[in-house]
């Protein structure tokens, strides 16, 4: 991007796979969320939402000026068109802010219903010519670029758009994934799960056989070895915090966080990290000591995102083609984990105190605990004052009912977890 260009604050877009995750994302300060309808999105494994719940989702988001995008980004077969039409009718009625899609049946229906289209990364648009075609032909103004685009590519795309469109180039928004799972296939278009298990990644049913350990056997001499130490089908997760200023200065409009299949605490932690980084940049850029302070902040934020689910971190394609960026082992590399402890029986709003029953993992005053619920969302805090019948205690024991001072309001039946390292 040219040095003279005005750098605009990018949107932070968070994943919402269920009600707890949705509220966690909103509380963490995202500008927008994206969500899916059960059976019709690329994260079929998440709880997702029903079509009837769309109005509640958008109303909750719009209440505080946040936006709601419907992800309708699976392949659509002939028999499914009537169902898709019905979902889009509800989306229109619900005042959804945009539809993330790529199938031309969905694009066409959105245009007919005057629903804004955000072109999904599934299209793998990676150049200005492709963007111009969709912009001039269909009026599409936001593009989720192919995962394989580098920062250099993005700057060139924006330069060429400006040369072709002049001032109208400002109408086009570039969206990129900044954090979360990456797929070994081109922009997620993989067939391994379909061929092996009949569960298509392109309908959101991928069961991720790429993440597993395999035994490879030489059929002639029967020698075998285990493919797992480098997991050559399973890339590390994307994380851009360490160079986020480069993305901001490239003029990207929206920073998208992957993770509708991941936990509410993942959504809350990662969303808050990117919110904090972006806000700090715009509030402090140009001030004395900014560079040093920003570097220190980014180091602290990396520690935070390491606490929740990840497969190790990679810069993806932004800084060049990744080489040997495979996860080290199967599953989660997070530095902390949550373990169920109990649930909320009552909440006393004036006192800011929850009465909880401890059913499993015990904890002490000073330990980190977490509350989660469909209305509460997800938040963690230090276990401060613990009492039983107004008598202070230091240890929450299994089977006990006690009072816990909470940092935020909680609700009956909210779950209580202990955070362990």
CATH number of residue 159's parent domain: 3.20.20.70
CATH number of the domain where residue 400 is located? 2.40.30.10
Domain identity same for 272 and 352: no
Dist. CA 84–CA 106, nearest whole Å: 7
Domain identity same for 154 and 240: yes
Domain identity same for 354 and 306: no
Asked if residue 193 is part of any domain, the answer here is: no
What is the reported pLDDT for 299? 98
Long-range contact list for 49-54, CB < 8 A, 24+ apart?
A: 49/18, 49/19, 51/86, 51/87, 51/90, 52/90, 54/90, 54/91, 54/93, 54/94, 54/96
Asked if residue 107 is part of any domain, the answer here is: yes
**Cβ(372)–Cβ(417) under 8 Å?**
yes
Task: Write out 137-160 in H/E/C secondary structure.
Answer: HHCCCEEECCCCCCHHHHHHHHHH
**Which three-class secondary structure state does DSSP give residue 81?**
helix
Domain identity same for 268 and 403: no
- Residue 59, number of CB atoms within 10 A of its CB: 12
Asked if residue 194 is part of any domain, the answer here is: no
Say what the alpha-carbon torsion angle 376, 377, 382, 385 is, to the nearest 10 degrees: 10
Asked if residue 20 is part of any domain, the answer here is: yes
Domain identity same for 273 and 392: no
Asked if residue 55 is part of any domain, the answer here is: yes
Asked if residue 228 is part of any domain, the answer here is: no
**Residue 63 CA: distances (Å) to CA of 12, 33, 52:** 17, 13, 19
> Containing domain of residue 22, as a range?
11-184+234-314
**Cβ(388)–Cβ(365) under 8 Å?**
no
- Residue 264, number of CB atoms within 10 A of its CB: 28
Query: Does the CA dihedral 271-35-56-19 come out positive or negative?
Result: negative
Domain identity same for 306 and 354: no
Please list the ranges in the chain whose pLDDT falls under 50: 1-4
Domain identity same for 273 and 141: yes
Domain identity same for 26 and 174: yes
Domain identity same for 310 and 350: no
Residue finishing a domain among 314, 346, 364: 314
Q: How many domains does the chain have?
A: 2
What is the reported pLDDT for 3? 46
- Indicate the burial class of 93 (C-beta count within 10 angstroms; 0-12, 13-18, 19 or more): exposed
Please state whether beta strands 401-405 and 386-388 pair in parallel, antiparallel, or not at all (unpaired).
antiparallel
- Output the pTM of the full model: 0.89
Asked if residue 60 is part of any domain, the answer here is: yes
Asked if residue 394 is part of any domain, the answer here is: yes
């Amino acid at each position: 991007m040219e040095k003279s260009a005005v750098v605009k604050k990018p949107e932070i877009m968070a994943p919402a796979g269920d009600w707890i995750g949705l509220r966690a994302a909103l509380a963490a300060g995202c500008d927008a969320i994206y969500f899916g309808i059960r059976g019709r999105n690329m994260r079929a494994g998440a709880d997702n939402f029903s079509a009837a719940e769309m109005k509640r989702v958008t109303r909750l988001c719009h209440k505080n000026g946040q936006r709601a995008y419907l992800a309708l980004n699976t392949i659509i077969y002939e028999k499914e068109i009537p169902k898709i039409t019905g979902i889009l009718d509800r989306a229109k009625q619900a005042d959804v802010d945009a539809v993330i899609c790529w199938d031309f049946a969905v694009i066409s229906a959105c245009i007919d219903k005057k629903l804004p289209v955000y072109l999904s990364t599934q299209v793998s648009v990676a150049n200005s010519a492709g963007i111009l075609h969709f912009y001039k032909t269909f009026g599409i103004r936001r593009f989720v670029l192919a995962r394989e685009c580098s920062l250099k590519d993005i700057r060139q795309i924006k330069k060429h758009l400006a040369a072709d469109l002049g001032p109208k180039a400002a109408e086009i928004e570039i969206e990129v994934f900044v954090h979360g799972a990456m797929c070994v296939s081109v922009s997620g278009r993989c067939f391994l799960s379909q061929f092996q298990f009949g569960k298509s990644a392109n309908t959101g049913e991928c069961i991720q056989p790429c993440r597993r350990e395999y035994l490879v056997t030489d059929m002639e001499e029967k020698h075998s070895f285990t493919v797992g130490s480098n997991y050559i089908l399973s890339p590390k997760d994307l994380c851009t915090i360490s160079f986020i200023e480069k993305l901001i200065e490239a003029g990207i409009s929206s920073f998208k966080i992957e993770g509708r299949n991941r936990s509410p605490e993942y959504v809350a932690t990662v969303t808050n990290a990117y919110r904090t980084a972006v806000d700090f940049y715009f509030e402090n850029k140009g001030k004395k000591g900014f560079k040093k302070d920003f570097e220190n902040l980014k180091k602290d934020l990396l520690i935070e995102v390491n606490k929740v689910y990840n497969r190790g971190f990679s810069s993806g394609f932004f800084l060049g083609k990744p080489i040997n960026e495979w996860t080290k082992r199967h599953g989660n590399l997070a530095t902390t984990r949550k373990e169920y402890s109990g649930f909320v029986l009552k909440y006393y709003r004036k006192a800011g105190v929850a009465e909880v029953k401890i059913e499993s993992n015990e904890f002490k005053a000073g330990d980190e605990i977490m509350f989660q619920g469909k209305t509460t969302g997800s938040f963690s805090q230090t276990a401060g004052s613990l009492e039983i019948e107004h008598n202070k205690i230091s240890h929450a024991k299994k089977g006990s009912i006690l009072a816990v001072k909470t940092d935020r309001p909680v609700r009956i039946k909210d779950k209580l977890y202990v955070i362990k390292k």
